Amino acid sequence: MRTKRAAIAVAVLCLFAGSASAQDSSGNSDPGASTGSGQARITEDQRARLEAKLRLADQIMHASASDLQKSTSPVEKRQWLREVLYSMNLEEIQAMGVPGGLSATTDAIARIKKVPPKTLGSTSTDLVYRPFPPCRFIDTRFLGGPILGARGYGLTGTGATNGGSAACNPVTLSGVANADDFAAVAMNVTIVGPPGAPGFLGARPVGSTNSTSLANWYEAGPTVQASNSAVVSVFQGAGNKVEFFGSITDVVVDIAGVFTRPDATALECNTVQNTVTVTAGASFVLVNSTCATGFAMTGGGCNVPTTASIVSTNPLGTTQWNCAFLQGGTPYTGTSFARCCRTPGR
């Protein structure tokens, strides 16, 4: 929200990379070191790809800004477009270019989304956006008081420890193991009632020397408010912190999602089988087991009693297993089975 006496002087979407890699207490960069949870930290390549993606998303958002403002439900459409762009990988956004205008952008998204992306994200190069309903994580009016200089906030707890909501827990809402998985956080930052003017507020990972402003104001007073959205890189270490810095002001922060590494996801598998009765005196009997649409066969086989014989057992293509059973002196039951798997959600 903004009154007529305040102004925003930076882009709607920013990535404050600052100290992109983790640092030890001496300030040495250590992008490959493990965190307390035993997991590898976010790599420089992952952060670079994220920054490149966000720069392109920012250009697309700016090109669509005029149409978004004129559309019905502009706030909701702006949020939808931002989340769609955040969820796309770098190659998809690069293929879009900057269409220019909301209609051209939505057409480009529909076209690109029909092109299959990489089947699975690389844990060494890709980051994924995990949006959740925006929630209040920081409100210095209720706890901590106005920010003066610089103040860091960890992402391991709930908003209740920062004057926000107890239900606002980025770890729980994003579904990750702990805040060590966070590479960056998407937030909306509002300055409230700055006592002096002109002034500015910035956001960055703790330990960064970045000095870029997120919001600027030119008049002071209890009714002055200004807000801006940003994606802020997270310092990975004790507390997994971001910090706010600048002129004296109360700050309200709503978090809407985080960027993390992709999960290692188990396959969804099932076994399909088909049974046939082999009668005495028949030369041989064929029976197949076929995977359902969308599943690929990862293996299979044939089962018969110990007194019976299998002529052949082999896959037919990528979705069917074939068995041929030899006649017996007495009837018996033979079974063909196929193990069928797919990546969940596809």
- Among the candidates 263, 298, 326, a domain finishes at 263
Sign of CA dihedral 271, 276, 280, 285: negative
Domain check: are 176 and 245 in the same one? yes
- The answer, yes or no, to whether residue 29 has pLDDT greater than 70, is no
Determine, yes or no, domain membership for 82. no
Work out the burial of residue 20: count CB atoms within 10 Å of its CB; fewer than 13 is exposed, 13-18 middle, 19 or more buried: buried
Domain check: are 255 and 155 in the same one? yes
Determine, yes or no, domain membership for 221. yes
Domain check: are 165 and 141 in the same one? yes
Determine, yes or no, domain membership for 10. yes
- For residue 206, the model assigns a pLDDT of 87
- For residue 207, the model assigns a pLDDT of 83
- For residue 158, the model assigns a pLDDT of 95
Determine, yes or no, domain membership for 104. no
* Overall number of domains in the chain: 2
Please give the Cα distance from 195 to 182 (Å, whole number).
34
Sign of CA dihedral 134, 138, 139, 142: positive
- The answer, yes or no, to whether residue 251 has pLDDT greater than 90, is yes
DSSP for 133-194, please give it. Answer: EEEEEEETTTTT-SEEEEEEEESSS-GGGGBS-TT--HHHHHT-SSGGGEEEEEEEEEEE--
- For residue 282, the model assigns a pLDDT of 65
Letter for the amino acid at 326? L
Domain check: are 152 and 272 in the same one? no
Residue 22 pLDDT class (50, 70, 90 cuts): very low
- For residue 118, the model assigns a pLDDT of 47
Please give the Cα distance from 169 to 125 (Å, whole number).
26
Burial 121-145 (b: 16+ CB within 10 A, else e): beeeebbbbbbbeebbbbbbeeebe
Q: Give residue-wise pLDDT tens across range 131-182.
A: 999 999 999 999 999 998 999 999 989 999 999 999 999 999 999 888 888 8
- For residue 136, the model assigns a pLDDT of 97
Residue 40 pLDDT class (50, 70, 90 cuts): low
- The answer, yes or no, to whether residue 14 has pLDDT greater than 60, is no
Least confident window among 11-20, 103-112, 150-159: 11-20
Domain check: are 205 and 321 in the same one? no
Instruction: For residue 183, give its domain range.
Output: 1-15+127-263
- The answer, yes or no, to whether residue 201 has pLDDT greater than 90, is yes
- The answer, yes or no, to whether residue 117 has pLDDT greater than 80, is no
Q: Give residue-wise pLDDT tens across range 43-63.
A: 888 888 888 999 999 999 999
- Among the candidates 206, 234, 263, a domain finishes at 263
Domain check: are 150 and 253 in the same one? yes
∠ CA 23-256-137 to the nearest 5 degrees? 70
Determine, yes or no, domain membership for 74. no
Domain check: are 238 and 273 in the same one? no
- Of the chain, the percentage scoring pLDDT greater than 90 comes to 44
- For residue 35, the model assigns a pLDDT of 40
Domain check: are 252 and 140 in the same one? yes
Residue 204 pLDDT class (50, 70, 90 cuts): very high
Please give the Cα distance from 215 to 53 (Å, whole number).
22
- The answer, yes or no, to whether residue 91 has pLDDT greater than 50, is yes
- For residue 189, the model assigns a pLDDT of 96
Domain check: are 246 and 152 in the same one? yes
Domain check: are 236 and 259 in the same one? yes
Residues ≥6 apart with Cβ < 8 Å to 263: none
Query: Mean pLDDT throughout 109-135?
Result: 74
Q: Give residue-wise pLDDT tens across range 269-319.
A: 999 999 998 887 767 788 999 999 989 999 999 998 887 888 888 898 899
Least confident window among 111-125, 252-266, 308-322: 111-125
Please give the Cα distance from 302 to 27 (Å, whole number).
62
Across the chain, mean pLDDT equals 82
Pair 233, 18: CB distance under 8 Å = yes
Determine, yes or no, domain membership for 112. no
Q: HEC profile for 117-131? A: CCCCCCCCCCCEEEE
Domain check: are 178 and 288 in the same one? no
- Under DSSP, the state recorded for 98 is -
Helices (H) and strands (E) in the chain, counts: 5, 14
Determine, yes or no, domain membership for 32. no
Query: Mean pLDDT throughout 113-120?
Result: 54
Domain check: are 137 and 232 in the same one? yes
**If we measure between CA atoms, which residue out of 291, 307, 303 comes closest to residue 341?**
291
Cα 187 to Cα 24, 81, 82, 230, 253: the distances in Å are 26, 15, 12, 6, 7
- For residue 217, the model assigns a pLDDT of 93
CATH code of the domain in which 308 resides = 2.60.40
- Among the candidates 232, 263, 294, a domain finishes at 263
Determine, yes or no, domain membership for 252. yes
